[in-house]
Amino acid sequence: MTRDDCLARDAADPLAPLRGQFDLPPGVIYLDGNSLGARPRAALARAQNVIAREWGIDLIKSWNTAGWFELPRRLGDRLAPLIGAAAGEVVVTDSTSVNLFKALAGALHVQAAHAERKVIVTERSNFPTDIYMAQGLSGWLERGYQVRLVDRVEDIADAVGPDTAVLMLTHVNYRTGYQHDMAALSALARERGAVTVWDLAHSAGAVPVALARDGADFAVGCTYKYLNGGPGAPAFIWVPRRHQAQFVQPLSGWWGHAAPFDMAPHFAPCDGIGRALCGTQPIVSLAMVECGLDVFAQTDMAAIRAKSLALTSLFIDLVETRCAGHPLELVTPREPARRGSQVSFTHPHGFAVMQALIGRGVIGDYREPAIMRFGFTPLYTSFADVWDAVAILKDILDREDYDVAARRGVVT
Ligand SMILES: *Cc1c(COP(=O)(O)O)cnc(C)c1O
């Protein structure tokens, strides 16, 4: 494999033209789209339009004339095909943390008839906010709910038993990039009487997801990672039609009401996915989500997955061959089916090495313990980017050109 081989792969890549729809600064190889997606070029004009025309000129009329009130549902319908959901089952709203709270509360409510089911099972290696939200909700309810943390994937089956209300899993692990078998684990939970809540933060727009086909019960996910919705862009929540009538969540704000402008003094949830909404949404941020979805509408998840696996496999091969002899250890599964769209390597000086990479324009990130994380986003990452990133990594390691005393910012 040479750099010319990589250029040849780029020339043959059907997704290569989509890179032109993103604005990336020159000299940067951006391998952090799993944390904050790059900016779709169209986002600037869209923001200009929302701020100058919809807000500036049309003012409050825009709730009707610009479709602001419908935006969470409309975006949900556009996002649904990416996750194997139907129209009318997804809304884009609130943060992933808040949507987890609502999905978990709704899942516990669906299980409320089974008084003996008091446990939410999840993984210790889950993203902390998922665990924290489960702990917060179960403590607040004061009905004896507990959170059970599982240490190994092989132990999940044993942890889901007659006391289990909910199995809450993140489909692709944020640290290792390990991808769960959604169909098998959803089936296992169902056989044992538990319902599943899936977090798709590192899956939506990264790997094909088939929520309905795989028998999932509820799901949430992020739009500012692989979906390129912008920093802090609203997240999404999926409640399939078969659960919507029983889905009750405690953040019963007026946007989830059957007739919000009746201004009635009692809450009555609307039919359908709207009951997952709470209150007024950040319209400027929400509008940006559509610019990311517009790019996905020009391709499909099968093409994205094929290129994602090609990129991650190439990166693993090149690091292992060209940086052999350095203490790098792959923590991402080699088996393609078990891999998301990121590759993580540990290095004893992982933080310092990542800082050196960032200093030379290769932007990945660092997660405790000792993990250098590289996200691969097929919409705008090229095979030549992979080659160049590994060449820079090799140079940094060969020359030990990193500062082990590198200072940490608030965000790593
Ligand atoms: C990124 C991520 C989140 C983020 O939650 P916020 O509410 O947006 O801060 C939650 N869960 C997982 C698994 C994530 O990867």
Per DSSP, the three-state class of 37 is coil
**pTM metric for this prediction:** 0.98
CA angle in degrees (0–180, nearest 5) for 233-375-79: 40
CA atoms within 13 A on the CB side of 177: 31
130 labeled binding residue: yes
Which active-site residues does the annotation give? 127, 199, 224-225, 373
The 10 Å CB-count burial string (b at 16+, else e) for 91-130 is bbbbbbebbbbbbbbbbbbbbeeeeebbbbbbbebbbeeb
Q: What's the whole-number average pLDDT of the chain?
A: 97
User: How far is it, in rounded angstroms, from Cα 13 to Cα 29?
Assistant: 18
User: How far is it, in rounded angstroms, from Cα 30 to Cα 42?
Assistant: 19
Q: What is the CA radius of gyration of the chain?
A: 22
pLDDT attached to residue 75: 98
Cα of 307 to ligand 1 centre, how many Å?
Answer: 25
Task: Decide whether any atom of ligand 1 lies within 6 Å of the 170 Cβ.
Answer: yes
User: How far is it, in rounded angstroms, from Cα 333 to Cα 408?
Assistant: 28
Task: Decide whether any atom of ligand 1 lies within 6 Å of the 367 Cβ.
Answer: no
Helix (H) or strand (E) holding 167: strand 164-170
**Tokens 């004896």 sit on residue:** 144
> pLDDT digits over 116-154, tens only?
999 999 999 999 999 999 999 999 999 999 999 999 999
pLDDT attached to residue 393: 98
**Tokens 């479709």 sit on residue:** 67
335: DSSP letter: S
Sign, CA dihedral 398-404-407-408, equals positive
Task: Decide whether any atom of ligand 1 lies within 6 Å of the 132 Cβ.
Answer: no
Q: Backbone phi, then psi, for 35, in 5-degree steps? A: -115, -45
pLDDT attached to residue 408: 82
280 labeled binding residue: yes
383: DSSP letter: H
129 labeled binding residue: yes
- If we measure between CA atoms, which residue out of 4, 34, 31 comes closest to residue 381? 31
Cα of 408 to ligand 1 centre, how many Å?
Answer: 21
For a substitution probing ligand 1, which of 32, 98, 126, 127 has the most ligand atoms within 8 Å of its CB?
127
Task: Decide whether any atom of ligand 1 lies within 6 Å of the 123 Cβ.
Answer: no
109 labeled binding residue: no
Cα of 222 to ligand 1 centre, how many Å?
Answer: 7
pLDDT attached to residue 197: 99
Task: For residue 139, give every residue at least 6 positions away whose Cβ sits within 8 Å of its Cβ, in sequence order, or none.
Answer: 145
Closest ligand 1 atom to 95 CA: 7
Contact yes or no for 167/189 (Cβ under 8 A): yes
Terminus-to-terminus CA distance in the chain, angstroms?
A: 33
Cα of 117 to ligand 1 centre, how many Å?
Answer: 26
> pLDDT digits over 227-261, tens only?
999 999 999 999 999 999 999 999 999 999 999 99
Closest ligand 1 atom to 98 CA: 7
Closest ligand 1 atom to 232 CA: 8
122 labeled binding residue: no
Helix (H) or strand (E) holding 131: helix 128-141
- The encoded tokens of residue 156 equal 């999940």
Mean pLDDT of 149-161: 97
> pLDDT digits over 385-406, tens only?
999 999 999 999 999 999 998 8
* pLDDT over 90 at 323, yes or no: yes
- If we measure between CA atoms, which residue out of 174, 231, 238 comes closest to residue 201? 174
Task: Decide whether any atom of ligand 1 lies within 6 Å of the 94 Cβ.
Answer: no
Cα of 264 to ligand 1 centre, how many Å?
Answer: 34
Task: Decide whether any atom of ligand 1 lies within 6 Å of the 199 Cβ.
Answer: yes
User: How far is it, in rounded angstroms, from Cα 232 to Cα 234?
Assistant: 6
- pLDDT confidence of 407, banded at 50, 70, 90? confident
Closest ligand 1 atom to 170 CA: 13
> pLDDT digits over 31-83, tens only?
999 999 999 999 999 999 999 999 999 999 999 999 999 999 999 999 999 99
Contact yes or no for 89/239 (Cβ under 8 A): yes
Task: Decide whether any atom of ligand 1 lies within 6 Å of the 95 Cβ.
Answer: yes
CA atoms within 13 A on the CB side of 48: 5
Q: Backbone phi, then psi, for 47, in 5-degree steps? A: -60, -40
Whose Cα sits closest to atom 15 in ligand 1?
Answer: 201
Cα of 97 to ligand 1 centre, how many Å?
Answer: 6
199 labeled binding residue: yes
Cα of 153 to ligand 1 centre, how many Å?
Answer: 20
Task: Decide whether any atom of ligand 1 lies within 6 Å of the 97 Cβ.
Answer: yes
Mean pLDDT of 184-189: 98
Burial class of residue 295 in the structure, from the number of CB atoms within 10 Å of its CB (0-12 exposed, 13-18 middle, 19+ buried):
buried
